[in-house]
Structure 1
Amino acid sequence: MMRARSHFTFAVLGAALLALAACSDDAPEAGPDAASAREQADAEAARVATLTVRPRRIVVYDELPGRVSALRTAEIRPQVSGIVRKVLFKEGSEVSADQPLFEIDPAPFAADVEAASAVLARAKADELNASLKHDRIKALAESRTATAAALGDARAALAQARASVAEARANLTRRELELAHATVTSPIAGRIGQALITEGGLATAGATGPMAVVQQLDRLFLDVRQPSMRREVLEEALANGQGNEADGVPVDILTITGKPYEYQGTIRFSDSTVDPGTGSITIRVEVPNPYDQLLPGMYLRAKVPRSIHPNALTVPQEAVVRDGSGRPQLTVVGADSTASRRPVELGPLVDRQYVILSGITAGEEVVVRGQDRATEGTKLQTVAYQPAVRTDAQ
């Protein structure tokens, strides 16, 4: 029994010694490989995406809200009083210039025309009679059988008769105009709205309310307000040859939801008076509207130029990092491919690109992606930065 236990103990000890020997044999081979891997990892450079800064022309815009108004608006009002017999248009339709819209009962005006014609005929007859009398008295005066006083009276009577004819003719013209105004026409081409008076209604000349409203909608006005200081900066830049003339500058239009409108507007008018309450000026933008997508009263946004940078240095927004105090920095790639953090002064943000006012120069290479790996003095392995494809509608 004791002999069996001895054999078992020796067997266990032998197995343990063999295991220790195997571990000691493997250790010298694994040690150098692990150290080599660690050294290789330490020597590998950080992989980052970089961009070389190049100067380019940047226009900074203000997105300003504004209300749409019609290019021209005509309030249809009667020039004579009377009962409306007919409405000659379809509400909401397009009308042309001089198209008849309403018909006021013309019978009273036609009667006035006939009366005025009769008065003119009587005045012409009186003129003829006065002319004949004048000619007879003039002949008698030449033969010294009529006095000079009689000739003077004849001349005065003739002049009075001619004046009566002129007055009667003017009165007839007025009555004919009133008859013509019994048919109310549109002064402009455009879209007409609701008929504010119907058949049987009384149209009154000089009434405060219109009979209908016609608006020209193929082009519209968008009135926006811009701070006067920003407008002054733009005008100075334009005066220094950094852009085109202020009038006629194209303007991108955005809907109230931020979607771009398919047609550009154009600045047509800039007010010369600053609002003392707000310190802003009114800018009028003309916007094409060929398909009547826009209507008066809508709110839109206009990207009005605020300032122009002819040789701006820009970097993507994601390239800017901040230190512990919140100051902006860029990671610049040095000549030896090492990273260095450099403080910069940021300008406006335009299309997700920061304008850099100071801190870098043209031709320098900055890190856009991988700044967390590009600490101060880190060796860098650079690849060209590729901007992400934007799928959101701007």
Structure 2
Amino acid sequence: MQFYRFGLLILSAIVGSVVLTGCDVVAEQATSSAPQATPVGVVTLKSQALTLKKELPGRVNAFQIAEIRPQVSGIVQSRLFVEGKQVEQGQALYQINPAVFEAELAASEAAVARAEASIASSKAKAARFSELLKIKAVSQQDFDEADAAYKQARAELLTAKAQLQSAKINLDYSHVSSPISGQISKSSVTVGALVSANQATALATVTQLDPIYIDLTQSSNELTQRKKALASGLLTVDPATQTDVELIMEDGSIYPHKGTLQFSEVTVNPSTGSVILRAEFPNPEKLLLPGMYARASIVEGVKADAILVPQRGVSRNSKGEPTALVVSAKSIVESRVLKIDRSVGANWLVIDGLKAGDRLIVEGLQKIRSGAPVTATEVDSSALSSTNKAQ
């Protein structure tokens, strides 16, 4: 009997141990099935004033171009410049044989002297006849003829002076000079060549390279959108920087001098749907030459409440839409579909989908999904930007 009781005690102890062990297993399984908060790095977004710029393609054009042509005919006596060198406004470039023009000038001076002598005689005669007419010593007809002769002499003097002026101009034109300052091209004629007044072929070309123009091309749609944004207040104008232009050269380097936007055309090219914007740049080193391709960055305006988002925090969904993951107030991951305007350095300019104060997840994205609990740690945004640039 005692043995039977002892057996029951042992059996009760074994059953109790099994039951307690089963409870511990169930508790451990319940604990392991509860979602764990995943640590992630976030950036708290802030709005800021941002100057928006647009990069446009363009071509370099000379500030001024002058084609040198003779205005009188004759033989080229000498060339007075070095090809390819800088010439100044008014500098003599060619000398056309002046002998014929000097002779014409001398003849014109003689004609003026003869007319002046004639006018002195006719003037005195007209004055005498005027006094004689008062006492009826001459007839009215005699006076009228004397007065007409005086007036004719005055007209002949004016004609002679005009011919003299023309002769001086032709003599001056025998010295072919530069109308502008700039760099001169090679000469198309040599000494001894016969040239004609206003001939079709230029003797040389002078090009002013400092300052210099950049003609930029912008689509009419972009120009219209910018005007609408300025009119609606989405963009504002900063007078201090609105006309600033930055030039990117063919090799990708930044041109050392800032340019100024001059004007935009008022007509749209029907074949390209674009308008021309002209910018003026200093060119003291002559780095820019007409015909070169260049890209320029112009100021569109200032966006007062811009939201810049690190590019590493933005991905694409199956539809190709840009998306981002943010941490809610309850530390739960939320997915947002974004509307992006453009890239700004290592960031995206977001115009819809995110706002100031949102905590954007930029680290640990591979370990989480929408709806998951997370533990957010703030990431240094400046260090993040430098990392993006290094990448």
- How does the TM-score come out when normalised to structure 2? 0.83
How many angstroms apart in 1 are the aligned matches of 2:247 and 2:351?
28
1:296 equivalent in alignment to 2:290? yes
Tell whether the 8 Å contact from 1:237 to 1:243 is kept in structure 2 after alignment: no
Q: Which moved more, 1:72-81 or 1:171-180?
A: 72-81
Q: How far off is 1:308 after superposition?
A: 4.9
Aligned pairs for 1:265-276 within 5 A: 265-276=259-270
Match of 1:96 in 2: 88
1:340 equivalent in alignment to 2:334? yes
How many angstroms apart in 1 are the aligned matches of 2:268 and 2:72?
42
- Count of equivalent residues: 353
Q: How far off is 1:317 after superposition?
A: 1.5
Q: How far off is 1:380 after superposition?
A: 3.1
Match of 1:320 in 2: 314
1:242 equivalent in alignment to 2:236? yes
Q: How far off is 1:109 after superposition?
A: 0.6
- Residue 274 to residue 332, structure 1, CA distance change in 2 (3 Å): same
1:384 equivalent in alignment to 2:376? no
Q: What SS is found at the alignment partner of 1:372?
A: helix
Q: Any stretches of 5+ residues in structure 1 without a counterpart? A: 1-34
Give a deviation string over 1:313-372, Cα, whole Å, max 9, x none: 111222102233433221212335443333222222222321222222201111223311
Partner letter of residue 282 of structure 1? I
Tell whether the 8 Å contact from 2:244 to 2:299 is kept in structure 1 after alignment: no
Q: What SS is found at the alignment partner of 2:269?
A: coil
Tell whether the 8 Å contact from 1:98 to 1:187 is kept in structure 2 after alignment: yes
Partner letter of residue 380 of structure 1? T
Match of 1:86 in 2: 78
Partner letter of residue 299 of structure 1? Y
Match of 2:206 in 1: 214
Q: Which moved more, 1:68-77 or 1:54-63?
A: 54-63
Tell whether the 8 Å contact from 2:36 to 2:373 is kept in structure 1 after alignment: no
- Residue 217 to residue 332, structure 1, CA distance change in 2 (3 Å): same
How many angstroms apart in 1 are the aligned matches of 2:191 and 2:354?
76
- Residue 80 to residue 197, structure 1, CA distance change in 2 (3 Å): same
How many angstroms apart in 2 are the aligned matches of 1:234 and 1:107?
64
Q: What SS is found at the alignment partner of 1:304?
A: strand
Give a deviation string over 1:73-131, Cα, whole Å, max 9, x none: 11222111111111111112112211111111111110110111111111122212212
Tell whether the 8 Å contact from 1:252 to 1:261 is kept in structure 2 after alignment: yes
- Residue 162 to residue 143, structure 1, CA distance change in 2 (3 Å): same
Match of 2:183 in 1: 191
Q: Any stretches of 5+ residues in structure 2 without a counterpart? A: 1-27
Q: What SS is found at the alignment partner of 2:303?
A: strand
Tell whether the 8 Å contact from 1:234 to 1:305 is kept in structure 2 after alignment: no
Q: Which moved more, 1:353-362 or 1:168-177?
A: 353-362
How many angstroms apart in 1 are the aligned matches of 2:151 and 2:380?
99
Aligned pairs for 1:153-164 within 5 A: 153-164=145-156
How many angstroms apart in 2 are the aligned matches of 1:218 and 1:248?
23
Q: Which moved more, 1:137-146 or 1:149-158?
A: 137-146
How many angstroms apart in 1 are the aligned matches of 2:171 and 2:60?
38
Kindly report the root-mean-square deviation, in angstroms, between the aligned alpha carbons of the 2 structures.
Answer: 2.5
- Residue 248 to residue 80, structure 1, CA distance change in 2 (3 Å): farther
1:63 equivalent in alignment to 2:61? no
Aligned pairs for 1:12-31 within 5 A: none
- Residue 346 to residue 156, structure 1, CA distance change in 2 (3 Å): same
Match of 1:15 in 2: none
Runs of 4+ with >6 A deviation: none
How many angstroms apart in 2 are the aligned matches of 1:243 and 1:71?
28
